[in-house]
Homo-oligomer: A and B are copies of this chain.
Amino acid sequence: MKTPIKHKIFNDPVYGFVTVPSDLVFSLIEHPYFQRLRRIRQLGLTNLVYPGALHTRFHHAMGAMHLMRGAIDVIRSKGHEVTEEEAQGATIAILLHDIGHGPFSHALETSIVHNINHEDLSIVFMDRLNLEFKGQLDLAIKIFRDKYKKKFLHQLVSGQLDLDRLDYLARDSFFTGVSEGIVSSDRIVKMLNVVNDQLVVEDKGIYSIENFLVARRLMYWQVYLHKTVLSAEHLLVNILKRAKELAEKQVELFCSPALKFFLYQKHSKSAFLNKPEVLESFAKLDDYDIMTAIKVWADHEDKILSFLCKNLVNRKLYAVELQQKPFAGSYVDALRKKAAKKFGLTKEEIPYYVFTGAVENKAYMSDSIRINVQFKNGKVIDIAEAADLFNISVLATPVKKYFCCYPKELRG
């Protein structure tokens, strides 16, 4: 009797159970680099609007891994060869696709870790792990970087219809409770196929894809770009900016060592690549460092820092206005004057209190990677050109919205 692999099983409210397919994958999951994803929330501050949205990048990565196994089973059952080694490579690639994320990535990348983005960092982490695991991640990295001959494996990891998106939409709608955003990821997976080394969807799945794209757009406006979420995230960006400013002036700020490393020093991209202690420090940074500092900073003597932090901690978020056109300069100026007066601010301080910006969503980007549909007559065409799905081409049109934030005290 062959010794069976010790199947480790994880509970997942989204899919029921997630099974770890091999010992190597299990070892990667157990690695501190991956375990840290347990302390980084998938949706940052979104829980301030949707209290259930506390799920982590750890759980998302596990879910995407689960979908990958399903997708490979489906593709194999349709007559395409995927070797066990390739299956493991693709599984590891999706498992680690987001390992470079730090806490509140968006905010962090625009303030204190601005020389390198999370995509690059994912590669750095994978290379480091590959060294540690003696080359066992070679194929996974090839697939991740789209250097492997079977292109469809990369498309499963990163594309218009990759398992990353399929998992995060399903997971984010589940945990936020925004049930309209629910995507039947497992149904879509069953309709995948491969034609000429391209990932395609069988034609019977076009309405599911349409629904997927619309659900994604809904999630964008209802959740990812929800105006109160925007307000909270920009509050955080401003907090980190102010802290950086103070740090540069050598003002003392309560910080964990890892946060101090990034707040009080600058690190170039090459430092991330070449100095192990930089990556090591980054790997120690998570939601806890940031939020604990902010809680303490709420009592800092710097008026602006403490004002911003108190507002975030006690969820006194700024008012947000959202509209189709940029805000008139005069309108914003009036708010700024009001703020300067009410809070006694200098000109430099005002942008921490009143600020504007823009957000954009383009649910289906027809100019980049495409979703190909396989029709029964053998033709493969882009879903945007499928006859009765006018919607899709419309979804490709970007929608841009402008916002203006200011303390609620300025209202009325």
Contact = CB atoms under 8 A, between A and B. Distances in A.
Contacts of A50: 11
Interface string A34-69: 010011000000011011101110110010000000
A175 B35 CA distance: 19
A135 interface: no
Nearest to A39: B291
A13 B175 contact: yes
Contact of A79 (B1, B35, B218, B256): B1
Interface in A1-52: 1-5, 7, 9-14, 16-17, 30, 32, 35, 38-39, 47-48, 50-52
A331 interface: no
B51 A16 contact: no
A388 interface: yes
Given A52-B12, A179-B182, A257-B296, A207 B211 contact: no
Q: Which of A48, A177, A313 gathers the greatest number of chain B CB atoms within 10 Å?
A: A177
Tell me how many chains of this kind the complex includes.
4
Interface in A243-264: 254, 256-258
Contact of A315 (B35, B208, B214, B222): B35
B38 A47 contact: yes
Contact of A208 (B52, B54, B180, B182): B180
A394 B395 CA distance: 11
Given A388-B324, A394-B390, A11 B291 contact: no
Nearest to A7: B77
Nearest to A62: B51
A179 B179 CA distance: 11
Contact of A13 (B11, B52, B288): B52
A384 B214 CA distance: 16
Contacts of A295: 256, 258, 284, 286, 288-289
Given A11-B50, A179-B187, A218 B222 contact: no
A210 interface: yes
A77 B187 contact: no
A83 interface: no
11 contacts: A7-B77, A9-B190, A12-B52, A13-B175, A179-B182, A208-B218, A211-B214, A324-B388, A388-B399, A388-B401, A390-B394
Given A7-B77, A256-B295, 13 more contacts: A11-B176, A12-B51, A13-B174, A13-B175, A35-B313, A35-B315, A54-B54, A179-B184, A207-B217, A211-B214, A256-B296, A288-B292, A388-B401
Interface of A: 1-5, 7, 9-14, 16-17, 30, 32, 35, 38-39, 47-48, 50-52, 54-56, 58-59, 62, 77-80, 174-180, 182-184, 186-187, 190, 207-208, 210-212, 214-215, 217-218, 221-222, 254, 256-258, 284, 286, 288-289, 291-292, 295-296, 299, 313-315, 324, 387-388, 390-391, 394-395, 397, 399, 401
